[in-house]
Amino acid sequence: MILKGRKVMGGVAEGEALVSMDSVSFYGGVDPVTGIIVDPGHSCKGENITGKVFVFPTGKGSTVGSYVIYRMAKLGTAPAAIINIETEAILATGCVISDIPLVDKLDQDPLKVIKNGMRVRVDADQGKVEILD
């Protein structure tokens, strides 16, 4: 299955999907050293996003979140790619400075179509998400 959407930050990445129904704040919500979601009220608390294709509705929170994403990229704990329903500026900035492929506004709701553990390929250059299994 191939989903089409909007390129926010280009690049190509493939990995296991981690799907969250909750918005994510990288500042205070994710431990940049481990890549683990630490937000106490988050549905994916305790999950590790390192190397995953992280699927969630949108980002939230402080502008510092962009720099947390950048730090994660430098530490090797960042997600391989991000898929949103609609991306906000803080998350977009973080992905741009960190070279993380990011797509949004897909022709199908990624929260309904993509399931945890599925293998997903994001070709953000073409605005495509391919579900491989």
23 carries an active-site annotation? no
Q: In what order do the strands lie in the sheet with 2-4?
A: 2-4, 128-131, 119-123, 12-19, 53-56, 81-84, 102-104, 6-9
Residue of 20, 23, 43, 62 marked active site: 62
18-44 in b/e form (b: 16+ CB < 10 A) is bbbebbbbbbebbbbeebbbebeebeb
Q: Which residues are known to be catalytic?
A: 62
